[in-house]
Structure 1
């Protein structure tokens, strides 16, 4: 199921505490993401649950899982009342289908080396998140895929984004949304309010001043 959002979708990932989550949403982010796999930004389901239930109405919560069992993904998502799950790493088609049938929305992250067969995902994937790696080189490698209008699934650009390069990506490529992690941090899992505010403001400005057509109306709902 697609999100009911307008304008540019902005997700702040690697959120580890309530203050950063509420501040992100307050500044205009559409969603916050919680890392449940091995990560320097990992948060436990119990800790995330306390944050999720304090989010304002309309805020989107995304659980990020890497190489996790599908039953565990579904259990955490439904127990916490998450809006969506994001699947990193490897997963079989059967496992992906199992998750998609039992949660509201599925985001699938892919590496910059993904071929077109992967980029045109199977039934059950609502959004693509690319690249999976959080670095600028991987982001650059994905620019050609961002520009490929034959890809019918909305793409959320990620990987090495910051308040400077997000302008170029949003203005020049028909991405549906952006996902920031390390580019707005003072240390892993600790967001910088100034950097976060700059990122969101610049991303929204770029969306309102595009150099490309976005083809949003053509994306199937």
Structure 2
């Protein structure tokens, strides 16, 4: 592994300012705000208030599932997002209608192969675990060897069941541009500051 390589970390499912600021202090490169149906869903007003407190060089990613481009653009402008993550069934060319950089989430594993990527318009690809009737946040891993030595045309983000116990192995296996975690840094359904610190330190220490 290149000695200059250091994976970036996105902490997703942010719902409180204290958690957001603690994650940034621990070295998070990006924070994710879920605007889709989820127990981690946040209202635009709350996200805007949190984002207003963040330092300038931390990415603010809005996570959407099958929302209209108009709704995404409206929330992005209102909240001050810097990127959009599409985690639903949006068609490959959907992001042509968006003004911000787009992370395209694709679910793989459990018999679902990695799709061809050339038809997708995206600035990065996030790979999550495929589970029927779920668009992510399942807390389950997939076979990382599916992505090993993969020629991804854009930065590759790895998600799906990551936690402080497996993130080092995940980074060594896939060598992603970034890792994305939500449930893996929670205790009893709430973000755990100590787990966030451990996760970031372990991921970046590889």
Fold shared, TM-score > 0.5 on shorter chain: yes
Aligned partner of 2:161 in structure 1 is 160
Aligned residues: 193
Aligned partner of 2:137 in structure 1 is 134
Cα distance, 1:94 vs structure 2: 4.5
CA contact (8 A) 2:35 2:64 kept: yes
CA contact (8 A) 2:168 2:202 kept: yes
CA contact (8 A) 2:92 2:119 kept: no
Cα distance, 1:144 vs structure 2: 2.9
Determine the C-alpha separation between the residues in 2 that align with 1:66 and 1:187: 25
State the superposition RMSD in angstroms.
Answer: 1.7
Query: Residues 51 and 92 (structure 1 numbering): CA distance in 2 closer, same or farther, change over 3 Å?
Result: same
CA contact (8 A) 2:139 2:184 kept: no
CA contact (8 A) 1:186 1:192 kept: yes
Q: Give the helix-richer structure, 1 or 2.
A: 1
Q: Which runs of 5+ in 1 are unaligned?
A: 1-5, 207-221
**Could you tell me the TM-score, scaled by structure 2's length?**
0.87
Aligned partner of 2:132 in structure 1 is none
Q: Which runs of 5+ in 2 are unaligned?
A: 130-135
Q: Which runs of 4+ in 1 moved over 6 A?
A: none
Aligned partner of 1:147 in structure 2 is 148
